[in-house]
Amino acid sequence: LTMEFEKRISDYEQELLRSAADSDALSRTLQERSNMLVKISEEKSRGDAEIETLKSNLEMCDREIKSLKYEVHVVTK
């Protein structure tokens, strides 16, 4: 009976070690994915900022074109 309990304890200890290893692996994976999400979020923010800068530049160029068209119109009258 004692040997049976010792075997069970040994089996449970092995299972606990495997579970701990699995938990560690999952924790590392979760941390890696979390880090990846942070990087992606930062890249998205940079991309959004660049888009806003490009939109602003485009609007400025559009105003410049309209101004030049007006000047051409005035000069050709």
The pLDDT value recorded for residue 1 is 85
CA angle centred on 38, ends 36 and 41, rounded to 5°: 110
Q: How far is CA 68 from CA 46, 50, 55, in A?
A: 33, 27, 20
Q: Tell me: the pLDDT tens digits for 8-60?
A: 999 999 999 999 999 999 999 999 999 999 999 999 999 999 999 999 999 99
Domain count, the chain: 1
Helices and strands in the chain: count of H runs, count of E runs: 1, 0
Query: What is the reported pTM?
Result: 0.66
Give residue 49's domain range: 1-77
